[in-house]
A and B are shown apart, each in its own frame.
Chain A
Amino acid sequence: MKLSTGARGALLAPAILLNVLALIIPAGFFLTSAFRENAGFGQLGGFSMDALVTTVTDPFMLGLFGNYLVTLLIITLGCTVIGFPVCYVIARSRRWGGFVLNTIMAVSFVSAIVMTIGWLTLLGANGPIASLLSMVGVQEVPPLLNSPFAVVIALIHVELHFMVLACLPSVMQVSRNLEDAAMGLGASWWQTMMRVVLPMSLPGVLAGGLLVMATTAGAFTTPAVLGGQRVPWVPVFIERQANVAFNYPMAATASLFLVLLVVGLTMVANRFASRRKRRAKRSPDTSVV
């Protein structure tokens, strides 16, 4: 139902104002600090490309971003490899599907910090995994905390529900009749999955993967606690630069790259998501689920 421009303007004004005052202006101002000189103790000097140049040339910074991106890819891959089969189970299993979905969603409602504390106990030196390893006979149990392993495991756990929610509509759209037809024509279960189900749910899976990547890229709490000082992670680096080193230009430069990365990923993800919607409109939904 169409509203007049005046009515729309009045209704939109507070929301637009909020965005501008709390996001656009502060973020814009902050990101321009990337081009300022660090005058120490959080003060900003004049125009300078120092921070930017350091970020693209300094080996430490390149290592930070490189490691971060690799870890991000591993997490995204892990979420996809676990998430897609889980989606399939939820979509197909009448008995367990609801239970699996409810469990994953229930756990996603728990705050990140609480979940991270849970992982802390699980992976700690006193935790069950460490004691399990020592019972099996591993002499020197490697410290599981403050390692990329801990960050990857915990972040996959935290982001899994995003993947499941993103994939689920796509997988549910694949009609069960198609699977039965494929198997009836002699395909094995694996062939059916690889040749029928996966290609048809691909847009949803890709959109989900990119969404997970974009969300994980901005994750702070879990890598900060579980990775400590050791695991390279850009949002943690940004916070340390601001709160510990008081080096705002450096923090701003890293933020600039981070924002560009996330916005880029989100735009590509939306491209895939709209492709899925268009495909859904074109083909009739014969799903029996």
Chain B
Amino acid sequence: MSVVSSSVASPPARFRSPRASVVKTLIYVFSGIVIVYVLAPVVMLFLASVGLDSASGFNAERLTFDAYGDIPGRLIEAAGISIALAAATTAGALLIGVPAAFAIRGSSAAVGANLYAWFRLPIIVPQVVIGLALYQMLTLTPVGVQLVQETFLGMWFGHLVICTPYVISVVSTSIAGVKDSMFEASSVLGASRLRTYCFVILPLLRPAIFASGFFAFLISFDNVPISLFLAGAGTSTLPVELYFSVTLDLRPYIFAISTLIAVFALIASAAWGRMVGFRALA
């Protein structure tokens, strides 16, 4: 009967009996099924975009990349709008969120916890409610109606309010990780508070700032509920266009552009995993 097992030297106790190897196989099979389940829609998107679906009987000869060339101008335009909006949202979220994170960490624990909860509110409230409420408020006045229909400002506002909490969350956690000795050493060496924050602490926070900015970009780019309410006729974002086309007009180029977005997201997550690591999101 084994009592002590080093996890490096000898195989763990659980894998010594024949019955345990059945369990091990089951675990592998289970993981395999989960992986297939998780990847299935993405793979299917790609297959559909190159013409491989049941309608054509999965005929490899029907494989064609035509759909990628067919993507209409309005979708490309919408993609551009989405990117510009996401960039503007990221800039705003960082400018507003990073100082707020500093303020949270510069407060006492109780006050900081309350502030933190307050800033997390926009993540908790369902986006449909946020979008609808903003739309209702903005369209009370004719000026507001014009604002919503012709500019991005309404959407930008809505995206900003849901993205800033992520910046505040990630950056304030990162600030908590900066040792007090950094502040002390800097001030002992003669730097003023402002210099300390700008030239010592901020560079240390670069991964967190980048990561949270990236997150904000992604959330803004992908957003449907808020953009649905606040997009005007000429300012529709890509996800909203996709949402409408799904119900009205499902063509191969929809799959093509969806695959492109999915590939972009996968690459982005690989970069994220390399640079920051996913356990940081736990």
A: residues with CB less than 8 A from B are 1-3, 7-12, 14-16, 18-19, 21-23, 25-27, 29-31, 33, 82, 85-86, 89, 93, 96, 100-122, 126-128, 130-131, 154, 157, 160, 165-166, 168-169, 176, 179-181, 183-186, 188-189, 192, 214, 217-218, 220-221, 224-225, 235, 238-239, 242-243, 248, 251, 255, 258-259, 262-263, 266, 288
| B158, CB-defined interface residue at 8 Å | yes
Interface 1/0 per residue, B146-189 and A, CB below 8 Å: 00000000000110110010001000000000001001000000
Determine whether the beta carbon of A89 is less than 8 Å from that of B27: yes
Please, which residues of chain A bring their CB within 8 A of the CB of B119? 15, 19
Tell me the minimal C-beta distance from B21 to chain A in angstroms: 11
B258 touches A117 (CB 8 A): yes
8 Å CB contact of A122 from B41, B183, B246, B282: B41
Tell me how far the C-beta of B32 lies from the nearest C-beta in chain A, rounded to whole angstroms.
Answer: 9
| Contact status B224-A220, CB under 8 Å | yes
Those of B1-50 within 8 Å (CB) of chain A? 1-5, 7, 12-14, 19-20, 23, 27-28, 30-31, 34-35, 37-42, 44-45, 47-48
B242 at the binding interface (Cβ < 8 Å): yes
Taken together as a complex, chains A and B put the C-alpha atoms of A84 and B231 apart, in Å, by 39
**Chain B contacts for A242, CB-based, 8 A:** 132, 135, 229
Q: Contact check: which of B12, B23, B157, B161 meets A180 at CB < 8 Å? A: B12
B39 lies within 8 A of A103 (CB): yes
- CB of B38 within 8 A of CB of A160, answer yes
**Please, which residues of chain A bring their CB within 8 A of the CB of B216?**
none
**What is the minimal beta-carbon distance from A43 to any residue of chain B, in angstroms?**
11
Question: Total A-B pairs in contact (CB under 8 Å)?
Answer: 282
- In the complex, are the beta carbons of B129 and A258 less than 8 A apart? yes
Residues A184 and B224 in contact in the complex (CB < 8 Å), given A15-B164, A121-B48: no
Given the interface contacts A15-B96, A100-B35, A183-B13, does A238 sit within 8 Å of B106 by beta carbon?
no
Name the CB-closest residue of B to A189.
B23
Q: Is the CB of A165 within 8 A of B243?
A: no
Return A227 CB to nearest CB of chain B, in Å. 12
Between A and B, 15 residue pairs with Cβ closer than 8 Å are: A3-B107, A11-B99, A14-B100, A15-B164, A22-B158, A22-B161, A102-B270, A105-B281, A106-B265, A109-B218, A118-B262, A127-B54, A183-B14, A184-B3, A238-B132
- B115 contacts the other chain (CB 8 A): yes
Known: A22-B157, A107-B42, A111-B222. A121 touches B136 (CB 8 A): no
Which partner residue on chain B sits nearest A192 by CB separation?
B14
Known A19-B121, A130-B54; judge A259-B41 contact (CB<8 A): no
**Minimum distance in angstroms from B255 CB to a CB of chain A:** 7
Which of the residues B1, B28, B34 comes within 8 Å of A184, measured between beta carbons? B1
- Evaluate contact between A259 and B129: CB separation under 8 angstroms: yes
Tell me if B204 counts as interface (CB < 8 A to partner A). Answer: no
A11 to B98, CA, bound (A): 9
As a 0/1 sequence over residues 98 to 119 of chain B, the CB contacts with chain A under 8 angstroms (1 = contact) are: 0110111111100000010011
B136 in complex: contacting residue of A2, A184, A248, CB < 8 Å: A248
- The minimal Cβ–Cβ distance linking B77 to chain A, given in whole angstroms, is 17
- B78 at interface by CB-CB < 8 Å: no
Beyond the given pairs A15-B100, A121-B53, A157-B37, 6 more chain A to chain B contacts, judged by CB atoms under 8 angstroms and listed by A's residue number, are A3-B102, A9-B103, A22-B134, A86-B34, A118-B258, A180-B2
